[in-house]
Amino acid sequence: MTSQPILEVTDLTKHFPVSGSALFKNKSVLKAVDGVSLKVYPGETLGIVGESGCGKSTLAKTIARLYEPSSGKIVFKGQDIGALNSKALRAIRPKIQYVFQDPYESLNPRHTVSAILEEPFVIHTQLSANERAEKVCELLTKVGLPTNCLNKYPHEFSGGQRQRIGIARAIALNPDLVICDEPVSALDVSVQSQIVNLLLALQKEMGLALLFIAHDLSVVKHISDRVSVMYLGKIVETSEGQALYKQPHHPYSQFLIDAIPKPDPRQSKKRMRLTGELPSPIAPPAGCHFHTRCPLAQKKCKEEQPKLVNQSSNDHLAACHFIEESLNQWDKIWASSKENAR
């Protein structure tokens, strides 16, 4: 890509202190986000996938400065927002908005829809009550909700409708970047696609950049221009969406891609199987975090942390010591699944 990234995150970490006993403070920390670097370009969608507990949501909330970053830089439109004080931060808030995972939790149960959607204008603009009401109606139409629901409370809506309200609130102030933290994972499958399509339509219309977090790879595939795969607080692979799904470089990404259900009855049921549990982020394994579960792990993996480096010409980054072996493994799987299909 030629244009400047709208968001550039460098070596971002977010550590939570884990309190030990009251008397003897053992200073263990939970490394939820452990040195993440990523770029989001204007108008594009960066998908972030990873299993539960790998730090996706923490990453999102840290970028939105809902959490204080422990270290690292968050540069948004040339300004390091990781270091801003709360007043300066408030001024930048309208440009970075957040769509939450659970639409039942993220709307204040005591506020009506009009109160919820008016709030951004009350905080950041000097519009009169009438102008605000007009804006709210505009927003409702934009997200496909009837304008007669202004005085209803959130609990009177279905999950999908509530998520539409959440999206309307996020786009109210014409943001440049919308961080979507698993916006569809709490919804029915049929509603998921509606919400995803709404997001895509809004993106096109308003030129939004989306940081789209999910654990559902097929949703991410549908929506993302580029995809990052996260494992235990680190990004292990970043590439263009289609390239990742065709040829994942990192062994972990291969497991994920292979686990996507395929609508093909003749397909082999034999899959790569990921063994073991996600290691504790309080005491992550030394070396490559994935070595405890990786079939290709060797001595080097246990000792040395691989860096996220460019593996090919077109911006395909992966963090693995044995990329070639890994690619060979994928080719074998690919070949076998083709054979089975025949």
Partner 1 sequence: MSSFSPQALRRWQRFKSIKRGYYSAIAISILIVLSLLAELWINNRALMVKYEGAYYFPTYGDILPGETFDLDYKWETNYRALKRQFKSEPNSENWVLMPLIPFSPNENDFIEGEYPPYEPSLASGHYLGTDMSGRDIFARIIYGFRIAIVFSIFLLSVTYIIGIAVGAAMGYFGGAFDLFFQRIIEILSNVPILYIIMIVASIITPNFWTLALLLAGFSWMGMTWYMRTETYRENAREYVQAARALGAGHSRIMFLHILPNSISILVTFFPFSVVGGITALTSLDYLGFGLPPPTPSWGELLQQGTTNLEFQWIWASAVGALSVVLTLVTFVGEAIREAFDPKKYTFYE
Q: Rule CB under 8 A: which residues touch partner 1?
A: 61, 64, 66, 89-91, 93-94, 96-98, 100-102, 105-111, 119-120, 123-124, 151, 153, 155-156, 166, 169
Cβ contacts of 241 within 8 Å, gap of 6 or more: 47, 220, 221, 224, 225, 226, 227
Shortest distance (Å) from residue 15 CB to partner 1: 18
Q: Which of 113, 107, 169 is nearest to 142 (CA)?
A: 169
With respect to partner 1, which residue has the nearer C-beta, 170 or 274? 170
Shortest distance (Å) from residue 124 CB to partner 1: 6
Strand boundaries in the chain, DSSP class E: 7-18, 28-40, 45-49, 71-76, 79-80, 96-99, 177-181, 209-214, 226-231, 234-240, 309-310, 317-318
With respect to partner 1, which residue has the nearer C-beta, 7 or 318? 7
Shortest distance (Å) from residue 163 CB to partner 1: 12
Shortest distance (Å) from residue 153 CB to partner 1: 6
With respect to partner 1, which residue has the nearer C-beta, 163 or 253? 163
Shortest distance (Å) from residue 105 CB to partner 1: 4
238, β-bridge pairs: 228, 317
With respect to partner 1, which residue has the nearer C-beta, 57 or 311? 57
Radius of gyration (C-alpha) of the chain in whole angstroms: 21
**Would you put residue 61 in left (φ > 0), alpha (ψ -120 to 50) or beta?**
alpha
With respect to partner 1, which residue has the nearer C-beta, 4 or 151? 151
